[in-house]
Structure 1
Amino acid sequence: MGIIARPFWLGAILAGMLGACSSEQSPETDKASLALSDRPLVQWRMASTYPSSLIILGTMGKRVESLARDISGGSIDIRFYEPGALAPPFEIFDAISYGALEAGWSTPGYWAGREPALQLFSALPFGPSAEEYLAWFDYGGGRALYEKLYHRHNIHGLICGISPPEAAGWYKKPINKVEDFKGLKIRFFGLGGKVLEKLGASVQLLSGGDIFPALELGTIDGTEFSVPAVDLKMGFYQAAKHYYFPGWHQQSTFFELMINLDQWNALNATQQAQIEAVCSSNIRYGLSQGEALQIDAMRELSEKGVEFHKFSPEILEALETAWGEVADELSASNADFATGWDSLRQFRAGHRVWRERGYLKK
């Protein structure tokens, strides 16, 4: 079929209509363009302690980058950098504090050497579930202490992710009795590591990328790291076959967005609210994805020959007793830790009363 010629007058009318529409809409368009151009552009570098390829732990951090851009309409650019690209993983705290970096993605327990009380905001042995942990942070006094600790170092922290209960770790040999911990060389995180030291273990804190080589070479006899889906990704099953539960040391784990305090204070109220919204969304993402991925991960680990174990009641009792001793010692040596620990215990005690009366789930 040939091309049908369009009458000249039709083209003239269409051109006129388009011109009229353009002239009628231009004031609004100009206002929108002006509003966009007037928004200050935030460009931050965010160093991470976890690689972006690592499910949950790293992907939550990478998600901050895309969410900030989407929620702000492109005016907030928080660029994710892989571990070591800007600073060694365990030096991010100082780099942000001094202003050498604008932001970082991590978990508060890594900074126990700077502020022992920050361990309260990472994970607690025999500690609260995710919803109880968040409730205490938001409404039980946790946030005020958390901000006080970070502001002391010119950092503003935001809880920006959470993961569900972890596994209790990978071991080359079975742990059948409390005495099996004595002399055990193990990578263990945070307060849980202090508990194992009470039972005679030799505890090291290694960054994620250093764990598998140490386990494979025999530098360590065991390790804990995260939930089964993450541990599967890390490949620990290739070097140790005994996988233990329950994750007594980390029933839920907080992750954080750390921001240089001067940079945070330079934001306007809308920008601060947008970044807080990013973190609220990320918390939900971590909880839902963290729960959803574990069933398939456990099935795959089983197919790879992993042996699943549960710690005996005697071992769990010994671990909980040791945790009580660690908490008492930290409270005696650090007033901020004592304040936060007392606050959390009182908050949980109130919840326990309601559970015992049958008003809350057990």
Structure 2
Amino acid sequence: MTSNGKWAVAAITAAVGVAFAGQALAQGQPKVNWNLQSAFGSGLTHLGPSAVRLVKDVSDMTDGNFAIKFNEPGALVPTLECFDAASKGSVDACWSPAGNYAGKYAALSFFTSVPFGPGFGEFMAWKKFGNGDKLRDEIYAKHGLVAFDALAIGPETSGWFRREVKSLDQLKGFKMRFFGLGAKVMQKLGVSTQMLAAADIFPALERGVIDATEFSMPAMDIKLGFHQVAKFNYFPGWHQQTSVTELMMNKKAFDALPKSYKKILEVAAGHQLGYTFAESEATQFGVMAEMRDKHKVQVKRWTDAQLATFEKAWLEVLAEDSATDPLFKRIADDYLAFRKNYAIWGDAQVLKPTYLTGKPAAQPAAAAKK
């Protein structure tokens, strides 16, 4: 046999060996089937597709042996009841923000977003390396739940209104869909708030059941059609500067997984956390331009005085809820202490939008040439 022939035989033998080894590894992995219900539809930009990607990643990394079925909102249980369903084992996992279940513990909203809260970096620092996720896990353990942070997005819009809001006094008596701790702030201003799942918002807005709404970022809001009936879109999203969604799981189901599957879930969730944040930041400006130019949406910004009013109301909510809810106070105190300690670093490295009069900060080189 020639040397080339020997090489070919060796190569074929090695390839066959690798194939059999891979097959043996796959066969050594148990078959696991999970049902996951998402709070967001698979077609709802960023929020739903991220869960679909995680399901695919887990399948790919286990050669299809760990199969998670993505279920649309409400397919198995009502969206806002997924906490109880996962706790009981009726579903294996939920793709949802902790703040969806603030009716159980108001403090859960801290793990999703906080009014006048930090950006992505600081928020994740508190959750991962402060006590944020530890405090959440402590609550979930009482209900037989575990969770991984699995999706993050940046600032949301502040609200969609049918007419311009020239004074916050106009909001008194408004009926508005509002999420989380920000809803309590709006209540301070005389707004009647209610929590609605994504699919229920547009019908309520269209029929006049609610007068205004907030939901998410422009790329998600346009999918839900708010611009069709409300032409005034307000910024900034003071109530949700960073928002986190979780992969929340039944603890017994999670504990029954082999160690490798647990790690795969953790890694897949971590990947979506960063990927979706970057993806969502890359799509908002195009959608905002479309809404402005094609759909004639007026982009408005709250004045500094109006934002100060929102902030004052938030501080009142923070003080009042801390005085009556020990768990809320414990989590709020921890969050605020972390922010206070972080400030020596955060404040030191903050830049103004620009230092070149009248020139955008993104184009310093071009500005310098003029």
Q: Please give the TM-score of this superposition, normalised by the length of structure 1.
A: 0.91
Structural mapping, 1:328-347, within 5 Å: 328-347=319-338
Select 2:291's aligned residue among 283, 292, 301: 301
SS of the residue corresponding to residue 293 of structure 1 reads helix
User: Equivalents in 2 of 1:285, 1:20: separation in Å?
Assistant: 41
Paired letter, 1:144: K
User: Equivalents in 1 of 2:13, 2:275: separation in Å?
Assistant: 45
Structural mapping, 1:247-266, within 5 Å: 247-266=237-256
Shift of 1:25: 6.0
Kept in 2, the 8 Å contact 1:64–1:78? The answer is no
Paired letter, 2:158: A
Select 1:325's aligned residue among 316, 326, 338: 316
Select 1:281's aligned residue among 271, 276, 291: 271
Unmatched segments (≥5 aa) in structure 1? 1-12
User: Equivalents in 2 of 1:20, 1:133: separation in Å?
Assistant: 54
Corresponding position of 1:34: 24
Matched, 1:113 2:114: no
Structural mapping, 1:116-135, within 5 Å: 116-135=106-125
Select 1:220's aligned residue among 185, 200, 210: 210
User: Equivalents in 2 of 1:244, 1:257: separation in Å?
Assistant: 30
Paired letter, 1:330: D
Shift of 1:291: 0.6
Aligned-pair identity in percent equals 37
Measured against aligned partners, the alpha-carbon deviations of 1:200-236 in whole angstroms (never above 9, x if no partner) come to: 1011111111111111111111000001111111111
Shift of 1:361: 4.8
Matched, 1:79 2:99: no
Kept in 1, the 8 Å contact 2:187–2:193? The answer is yes
User: Equivalents in 2 of 1:191, 1:124: separation in Å?
Assistant: 7
Select 2:134's aligned residue among 128, 144, 150: 144
Q: 1:54 to 1:34 in 2, by over 3 A?
A: same
User: Equivalents in 2 of 1:302, 1:257: separation in Å?
Assistant: 35
Calculate the aligned-residue CA RMSD, in Å: 2.1
SS of the residue corresponding to residue 45 of structure 1 reads strand
Structure 1 range deviating more: 70-79 or 271-280: 70-79
Corresponding position of 1:349: 340
Select 1:311's aligned residue among 302, 322, 326: 302
Measured against aligned partners, the alpha-carbon deviations of 1:1-20 in whole angstroms (never above 9, x if no partner) come to: xxxxxxxxxxxx98x99777
User: Equivalents in 1 of 2:332, 2:38: separation in Å?
Assistant: 28
Kept in 1, the 8 Å contact 2:98–2:245? The answer is yes
Q: 1:38 to 1:337 in 2, by over 3 A?
A: same
Matched, 1:210 2:197: no
Corresponding position of 1:101: 91
For these two proteins, the number of residue pairs brought into alignment is: 350
Q: 1:292 to 1:17 in 2, by over 3 A?
A: closer
User: Equivalents in 2 of 1:132, 1:319: separation in Å?
Assistant: 22
Corresponding position of 2:163: 173
User: Equivalents in 1 of 2:321, 2:122: separation in Å?
Assistant: 22
Q: 1:25 to 1:190 in 2, by over 3 A?
A: closer
Paired letter, 2:52: K
User: Equivalents in 2 of 1:66, 1:45: separation in Å?
Assistant: 14
Corresponding position of 1:6: none
Structure 1 range deviating more: 204-213 or 67-76: 67-76
Corresponding position of 1:4: none
Paired letter, 1:345: L
Corresponding position of 1:267: 257
Shift of 1:149: 1.0
Q: 1:21 to 1:150 in 2, by over 3 A?
A: same
Higher radius of gyration, 1 or 2: 1
Corresponding position of 2:59: 69
Kept in 2, the 8 Å contact 1:169–1:245? The answer is yes
Kept in 2, the 8 Å contact 1:187–1:223? The answer is yes
Paired letter, 1:133: F
Unmatched segments (≥5 aa) in structure 2? 353-370
Paired letter, 2:275: Y
Q: Please give the TM-score of this superposition, normalised by the length of structure 2.
A: 0.89
Corresponding position of 2:232: 242
User: Equivalents in 2 of 1:33, 1:57: separation in Å?
Assistant: 35
Corresponding position of 1:3: none
Q: 1:18 to 1:211 in 2, by over 3 A?
A: same
Matched, 1:45 2:51: no
Paired letter, 2:54: V
Structure 1 range deviating more: 83-92 or 290-299: 83-92
Measured against aligned partners, the alpha-carbon deviations of 1:286-307 in whole angstroms (never above 9, x if no partner) come to: 1111110011011000011111
Paired letter, 1:247: G
Corresponding position of 1:10: none
Moved over 3 A (4+): 16-32, 359-362
Q: 1:243 to 1:36 in 2, by over 3 A?
A: same
